[in-house]
Amino acid sequence: MAGFVGEAVLSGLIQKLIDMVTSPELWNFASEEHVHSELNKWKKILTKIYAVLHDAEEKHMTDPLVKMWLDELGDLAYDVEDILDSFATEALRRNLMAETLPSGTQPSTSKLRSLIPSCCTSFTPNSIKFNAEMWSKFKKITAGLQEISAQKNDLHLTENIAGKRSTKTREILPTTSLVDESRVYGRETDKAAIANLLLRDDPCTDEVCVIPVVGMAGIGKTTLAQLAFNDDEVKAHFDLRVWVYVSDDFDVLKITKTILQSVSPNTHDVNDRNLLQMTLREDLSGKKFLLILDDVWNENLDSWDFLCMPMRSGAPGSKLIVTTRNEGVVSITRTLPAYRLQELAYEDCLSVFTQQALRKSNFDGHSHLKEVGEEIVRKCKGMPLAAKALGGMLRNQVSLDAWENILIGKIWDLPKDKCRIIPALKLSYHHLPSHLKQCFAYCSIFPKGYEFDKDELIQLWMAEGFLQQTK
């Protein structure tokens, strides 16, 4: 958890520095002080560093050299922030002088102090001297940034190009359409509701009928989609059914190929995008199909429209289900109201847990574990992934000590290779914008169980400079 916090603040800080160093007000002032070229170097270096921060976040937990690099970057970033703040204050001072005083008038120190906000009164015309001393600081920081940038190449950090994220360290197994319904609890009503949406013929004009299934990580969106996909009435209703696991790599070519190969298994390997789309359109033409796109993160409308283009040839009543935890995805995909999945009831969550831990839906034969087991399930807060993961950690263990260790332990301290909770949550974290990562990480300073006051928290974020003003 500490790693999440540190990197959240750092990525947000680097983004803030890029915004500061590219602000028109600062550049106007900088050109006057003959440091325009140095700021331009800073902008380029910071942008390159920011591009590899996502990869560094993925590697720093296992690579001590990457962690050391991030620590050094953090120290230097605060130095950069200090000097840019000094520039911003001096620029403000000069702007106030120019706006308030008649042309050619020299202000007195006392009058100048009355014009500058109280938070900045320690900065007087004499306290910041943009001379050899300041120029020396500039050159030192530029050298530090260049050294940090060179080190990132030695660490083999890769850039996050065009919003694409690294998949080589993927920690979540791809899903399939298969489901063991006997081990699913408490989703009968949800399954019936989704099946009803699929079976009725909603008019979607010339659009593909899309039903987003939305909810937080680990709540059971994929399981619900699997249940609907394998429902007997649903099977009989559609001519074709296709399941595609998408996740955070929304590769239109790859997704289209997967759909085409599911519809026409004998299709030869085709890599031309135009030929792929034309072939898929022909294969779907006049057929009522059901397509499940599982775990979608893409918010690019153009990519989404391009993917859906061949599907418009399908017969009326064709449906597409998108499972997502991202509201942005819901806004660009839905043509029908989103289905919002809620937490499991406590008893159903308990059954999920005991099925994993004891291979049965109750504590029969293990009454000594019942009280601790019930407390563990309360800790899961109705999240089936948490219940399944914690139950799996206790598979075939009937020692009370082992169960109590799980109860008192912290979820983020559990082994990642045995617990899928953190990888699932980490994906949500990585998809936060950098400034929201800072806001999220800031909450870690409060003790466990602290009751937040919304307005107070927002004011604290503002005081830290985490909230950037927008139009």
Give the separation between CA 207 and CA 178, rounded to whole angstroms: 28
- DSSP-assigned states of every residue in 303-354: HHHHHHGGGGGSPTT-EEEEEES-HHHHHHH-SSPPEEPPPPPHHHHHHHHH
Q: How does 341-367 read in b/e, with b if 16+ C-beta sit within 10 Å?
A: bebbeeebbbbbbbbbbbeebebeebe
* Kind of pairing between the strands at 209-214 and 339-340: parallel
pLDDT of residue 169: 41
Both tokens of 8, joined, read: 């959240």
The pLDDT-based confidence of 297 (bands split at 50, 70, 90) is very high
- The CA distance from 305 to 297, in Å, is 15
Q: Are 390 and 374 in contact (CB under 8 A)?
A: no
pLDDT tens readout for residues 197-254 = 999 987 776 678 999 999 998 899 999 999 999 999 999 999 999 999 998 889 999 9
- Tell which phi-psi region holds residue 179, choosing left (phi > 0), alpha (psi between -120 and 50) or beta: beta
DSSP codes, 415-453? -TTT--HHHHHHHHHHTS-HHHHHHHHHGGGSPTTPPPP
Q: For position 419, what pLDDT does the model report? A: 61
The DSSP-derived string for 3-29 is HHHHHHHHHHHHHHHHHHHT-HHHHHH
Q: How many CA atoms lie within 13 A of 82 on its CB side?
A: 11
Quick one: pLDDT band at residue 162, thresholds 50, 70, 90? Answer: very low
DSSP H helix total and E strand total for the chain: 20, 5
Phi, psi torsion values for 177, nearest 5 degrees: -80, -10
Rounded to two decimals, what is the model's pTM?
A: 0.70
Question: What integer pLDDT is reported at residue 173 of this predicted model?
Answer: 81
Highest mean pLDDT among 216-225, 259-268, 396-405: 216-225
List pLDDT tens digits, range 49-75.
888 887 787 777 678 888 888 888 888
Q: Is the pLDDT confidence value at 123 over 90?
A: no
Q: Which residues fall within 8 angstroms of residue 415, CB to CB, at 6 or more apart?
A: none
What is residue 467's predicted lDDT score, i.e. its pLDDT? 78
Report percent pLDDT > 90 for the chain: 38
Q: What are phi and psi of 360, to 5 degrees?
A: -155, 165
* Full strand arrangement of the beta sheet holding 339-340: 240-247, 289-296, 319-324, 209-214, 339-340
pLDDT for res 301: 93
Task: Locate all alpha helices (DSSP H) within 155-300, ordered by sequence.
Answer: 188-199, 221-229, 232-237, 252-263, 273-284
Q: Which residue has 């006057």 as its token pair? A: 32
C-alpha to C-alpha distance for 69 and 95, rounded to whole angstroms = 38
Q: Is the pLDDT of residue 131 over 60?
A: no
Q: What is the CA radius of gyration of the chain?
A: 28
pLDDT, position 49:
87
Superfamily of domain 181-340: P-loop containing nucleotide triphosphate hydrolases (3.40.50.300)
pLDDT digits (tens, 9 = 90+) for 30-55: 665 566 777 888 888 888 888 888 77
**For the chain, what is the mean pLDDT?**
82
Q: Indicate the pLDDT class of residue 470, thresholds 50, 70 and 90.
A: low
